[in-house]
Amino acid sequence: MLTYELKKAPGVPLYEALYRCIRQDILCGNLKPGEKLPSKRALAEHLEIGKITVEAAYAQLLDQGYICSREKVGFFVEAVERPEPAPPQPPAAKTPETSSAPVLDLTINGTGHFPFSVWSRLQREVILDYDRQLLLPLPNQGIPELRRAIADHLAAFRGMTIDPENILIGAGTDFLYNLLIQLLGRGKNYAVEEPGYGKIRQIYAAGGVTCISVPMDSRGVIPEALGDAQVLHISPSHHFPTGLVTPLSRRQELLSWAGKTNWIIEDDYDSEFRFASHPLPALQSLSPERVIYINSFSKSLAPSIRISYAVLPGQLMEQFRCRLGFYSCTVPSFEQYTLARFLSRGHFEKHINRMRRFYQKRRNLVIDALSRCAAADKLTILEQDAGLHFLLQVDTQWTDEQLTQWLLSLGIRVQALSSFYHATDPGELHCLVVNYSGLEEPRLEAALQKLEQAMT
Amino acid sequence: MLTYELKKAPGVPLYEALYRCIRQDILCGNLKPGEKLPSKRALAEHLEIGKITVEAAYAQLLDQGYICSREKVGFFVEAVERPEPAPPQPPAAKTPETSSAPVLDLTINGTGHFPFSVWSRLQREVILDYDRQLLLPLPNQGIPELRRAIADHLAAFRGMTIDPENILIGAGTDFLYNLLIQLLGRGKNYAVEEPGYGKIRQIYAAGGVTCISVPMDSRGVIPEALGDAQVLHISPSHHFPTGLVTPLSRRQELLSWAGKTNWIIEDDYDSEFRFASHPLPALQSLSPERVIYINSFSKSLAPSIRISYAVLPGQLMEQFRCRLGFYSCTVPSFEQYTLARFLSRGHFEKHINRMRRFYQKRRNLVIDALSRCAAADKLTILEQDAGLHFLLQVDTQWTDEQLTQWLLSLGIRVQALSSFYHATDPGELHCLVVNYSGLEEPRLEAALQKLEQAMT
């Protein structure tokens, strides 16, 4: 008799699990074409599951042509084509570091807690409900349902009043930045934060615009240092990697700099994960006519979901339609409908709330572990109020390069704050950027043990 | 008793159709929370369907929480949250023309025959098989499975020998052209075909490069006219809109032009639909080191599936990794895995064969209808051997503008060949570009009747 250990996995109903086991046996040849399957009652008793579960599994196998039914005789395995020989494997990263994976990687983002079962249920619903509508050409701004859902989300979560007509959906922020270059003009000078996220600078450079690095003080980007920039790209609500939040007074200075001719690109990339109770209003809300707001679901949901969006000032959206309206939308309709439902039914909010609590706990765990470790008296934690990373000041004579190399030799990968300076040399800052979002607890303990051994 | 007319729609098994009907009744309130559903046997007899179908439908409703089961009593409707009030609607186009839709539109592409049932079955399989793997970050070139499947397809269909490592997946050709500008350099001059597809020129212009229009003779782009271009963008296997196929001798002349320093971008956009039995080899096969091959699944599958790809010469792929490797992949993993299976299991080939026969029939139908119509003696059909459109020469004194406006007033939207000239004025060509891929038979008859009435 067929024997399977059917685990109730989240998102996979029992009948699907059974269907999957039998299908696997058919595909790999354990069940031969023509072979008779046990009766539904017998299999249900044997596996100690409900008869209705077996019935649903058999119905699905029947429907998909894996088995056939002969009246009053039973169910028989059909001859089926085999799938590709290799079982699905996660995509292998090509970088050599993966072969000697560090014990603890404090440079990557986590994805572990994405509500996959809800998402895949919505995917099945979307297939069922929209059917061939999913094949129709897309409006190039993105589907209206998703833009409406995003506007509602921004209203509820960020207090922003956005017309869905001003939202532009794109396959990732990289793509949107490139569109913005075409929209704002390649002849302008684009100012980026120093220190800052290196990729922003790379994208602008590849897009063919002149990048200016703007130094920051304790209140954020210094307006007097903007020189002849016409566009400023900033993350005022949570600067990466310093964690700095630009206060209202400085925001207003930056908006006066923008005036009526310059543009500000507000990168609000992880605003969802701020733990402080009263986030400052978005720059976009203060000056919707000069600020382009950008956010992404790749960070808050999963990196493989390539959906980002820009909120454009009305005047720019008009120009987009007029001058760049020939571009096709880059996000498939299927993903757009799924995300629209995920947002409008409240799943995103629930997910974010859950993640915020989860990350807060994880942060406390890391901070607690650091305060207990052998090197505790040499460590100071800075900027821990927002986002998914904090800064760790280390009292050491070593250079930043020596420190990160030594940690890497112990299996701890972490970046120095100084590595985020691109145009200037800040000297030795003795400060590490600790991204704890991808961290796993047992690895944290193991890494700290190694650290202690190495220090004693 | 619940009464539904269950139509066996392709791709929707009967139990899903029943599940969907009942769910709809629950969601819209026709079935109230707490209400008892008929027994499985009774409903099966009433609807004259198998009991196993009802069982599978109830199992799915049960699993998704729409109903609950009380042992030995029966099934009861659960209290569920309502979905968004509006039923799903196809995205509304914003152009004013849609409100007065023409009887016959000979400018758009068809999507009607996409094998949606196979595609959505593969989507369900991918959800089931890959599960949380779907959330992992993607390699920026695209997943290896899809690149391998594309290489196999190109080998079987186009006789091309491609290393999957040289394939780059992107969300649409628009996106890939922009990447190519960044890869080949913005300082170069890009030559495009005159006449030609206007969007190519728009994308290059928006990308900030200098576009040169190159005239064509009966053998394609004229090499002597390439002037100081360093990059040539062509569709030698089926030029749009003339339908011209560049013969081997001219291809070789163009490759000698490319030599060791220039680049050719080969746009093979609808090679799948050529009806001639022996297509010429791709330029890429003749000179894999100087030719960038581009193709898309948006045309051969559906415009809402945003997957295109480029085959880069090894040297360029190396440069992409080195200089642009920071870009994230723009196509979601879910769509990539689904397409990989669609290709590797032979569904794409079947689909293309079916579509080729279908379009050939449709083309014959259109040509037959034109040869019977009142204006037949004024019409000559040109270039009907390839692709999804042909040219229609009209013997008339009217200007092209007058002709297309008059046809539009009769409800027939069609573009004049002269409208595809962008840099030069070809004068009155009295030639129409007839794209028959989106055409529906009853509309063709109605339009031709109107035409006859107007002419008599």
pLDDT at A445: 80
pLDDT at site B65:
66
- Domain A14-77: which CATH class? mainly alpha
User: Hey, are the CB atoms on A135 and B124 less than 8 Å from each other?
Assistant: no
- Residue A10 confidence (pLDDT): 52
The strand ranges marked E within B282-361 are 291-296, 308-311
B140 touches chain A (CB under 8 A): no
> What is the Cα–Cα distance from B371 to B379, expressed in whole angstroms?
8
What is the average pLDDT score of chain B? 85
Q: For residue B103, is pLDDT > 50? A: yes
CA B178, B176, B421 angle in degrees (round to 5)? 70
pLDDT at A436: 84
Tell me the C-alpha distance between B413 and B425, whole Å. 22
- Of the candidates B52, B55, B333, the beta carbon closest to that of A304 is on B333
pLDDT for B318 equals 95
Please state the separation of Cα A51 from the chain's center in Å. 41
Q: Above 50 in pLDDT, residue B96?
A: no
For A80, the token pair is 């089926």
Please report residues of B whose CB lies closer than 8 A to that of A327. Answer: 174, 203
Instruction: Check CB contact under 8 Å for A171 and B330.
Output: yes
Interface of B with A in 155-194 (CB under 8 A): 171-172, 174-175, 178, 182, 186
CB-count burial class (<10 Å; 0-12, 13-18, 19+) for B274:
middle
Residue B150, pLDDT > 60, answer: yes
Task: Please say whether the beta carbons of B365 and A207 come within 8 A.
Answer: no
Half-sphere exposure of A25 (CA within 13 A, CB side): 17
H-assigned helices in A259-346: 283-286, 297-300, 314-324, 333-344
Residues B123-127: contacts with CB within 8 Å, 24+ apart? B123/A123, B123/A127, B123/A334, B123/B334, B123/B338, B124/A124, B124/A127, B125/B341, B126/B334, B126/B337, B126/B338, B126/B341, B127/A120, B127/A123, B127/A124, B127/B334
Contact A437, A359 (CB under 8 A): yes
Token pair for residue B224? 């002597």
Q: How many beta carbons lie within 10 A of that of residue A57, not counting itself?
A: 28
- In a mutagenesis test of the B interface, which of A133, A134, A141, A197 is the best target, namely the one with the most B β-carbons within 10 Å? A134
CATH 1.10.3720.10 fits B131-345, yes or no: no
pTM of the model: 0.75
Which residues of chain B from 5 to 34 reach within 8 Å of chain A, CB to CB? 11-13, 15-16, 20
Residue A289: phi and psi, rounded to 5, are -90, -15
Q: How far apart are CA B156 and CA A186, in angstroms?
A: 43
The continuous run of DSSP H or E covering B413 comes out as strand B412-413
Per-residue pLDDT of B21-46, as tens digits, reads 887 777 777 788 888 888 888 888 88
**Cβ pair A302, A170 in contact under 8 A:** no
pLDDT at B86: 38
Residues of B numbered 378-417 whose beta carbons fall under 8 angstroms of chain A's beta carbons: which are they?
Answer: none
Q: Which of B16, B22, B120 to mutate to test the interface with A (most CBs of A within 10 A)?
A: B120
Residue ranges of the domains in chain A? 14-77, 104-109+351-455, 131-345
Distance from the Cα of B38 to chain A's closest Cα (Å) equals 16
Given a contact cutoff of 8 angstroms between Cβ atoms, the answer to whether A400 and A430 are in contact is yes
Mean pLDDT throughout B364-373? 85
Contacts of A91 in chain B (CB under 8 A): 136, 138-139, 143-144, 333
Enumerate residues 348 to 367 of chain A having a beta carbon within 8 A of any beta carbon in chain B.
none
Window A:198-257, CB contacts with B under 8 Å: 198-199, 202-203, 206-208
Tens digits of pLDDT across chain A (456 residues):
778 777 655 555 677 778 777 877 777 777 888 888 888 888 888 888 888 788 878 876 776 567 888 877 888 887 765 544 333 333 333 333 333 567 778 877 666 578 888 998 998 899 889 888 888 888 999 999 999 999 999 998 888 999 999 999 999 999 999 999 999 999 999 999 999 998 999 999 999 999 999 999 999 999 999 999 999 999 998 888 888 889 999 999 999 999 999 999 999 987 777 655 556 789 999 999 999 999 999 878 887 888 999 999 999 999 999 999 999 999 999 999 999 999 999 999 999 888 888 888 888 888 888 888 878 888 998 866 656 888 999 999 999 999 999 989 888 889 999 999 998 899 999 999 988 877 777 777 887 787 777 776
User: Which of B337, B284, B323 has its CA nearest to residue B163?
Assistant: B284
**Chain pair A-B, CB pairs under 8 angstroms:** 218
- A171 min Cα distance to partner chain B (Å): 5
Instruction: Compute the 3-state secondary structure of chain A and give helix, strand, coil in percent, each to the nearest 5.
Output: 45, 15, 40
Q: Does residue A71 belong to the interface with chain B, where contact is any CB pair within 8 Å?
A: no
Residues 6 or more apart whose Cβ sits within 8 Å of residue B327: A174, A203, B140, B179
Decide if B94 and A139 are in contact by the 8 Å CB cutoff: yes
Shortest Cα distance from A294 to chain B (angstroms)?
A: 17
**ipTM of the modeled complex:** 0.72
A438 touches chain B (CB under 8 A): no
CA atoms A155, A161, A162, A164: torsion sign: positive
Average pLDDT over residues B360-371: 85
Nearest to B63 among A13, A128, A298 (CB): A13
For residue B95, name the pLDDT band (cuts at 50, 70, 90).
Answer: very low
- Specify whether the CB–CB gap between B186 and B207 falls below 8 A: yes
Average pLDDT for B143-171: 95
Closest Cα in chain B, distance from residue A377 (Å): 37
Query: Residue B116 is nearest to which of A64, A88, A132, comparing CB atoms?
Result: A132
Residue B84's pLDDT band, with cuts at 50, 70 and 90, is very low
Please give the residue of chain B at the shortest CA–CA distance from A64. B121
Domain A104-109+351-455 part of CATH 3.40.50.2300: no
- HSE, CB side, 13 Å, CA atoms: give it for residue A114: 25
Q: With 50 as the cut, is the pLDDT of residue B64 above it?
A: yes
- Which positions in chain A touch B113 (Cβ < 8 Å)? none
List of chain B residues whose C-beta atoms are within 8 Å of the C-beta of residue A177: none
Q: Cα–Cα distance between A204 and A209 in angstroms, integer?
A: 6
A219 to chain B, closest Cα gap in Å: 30
Distance (Å) from the alpha carbon of A197 to chain B's nearest alpha carbon:
12
Helix axes B173-184, B198-206, angle to 10 degrees: 50
Q: What is the pLDDT of residue A131?
A: 83
3-class DSSP state of A268:
coil
Is the model's pLDDT at B243 over the cut of 50? yes
State the Cα–Cα distance between residues B338 and B347, nearest whole angstrom. 11
A65 in reach of chain B (CB within 8 A): no
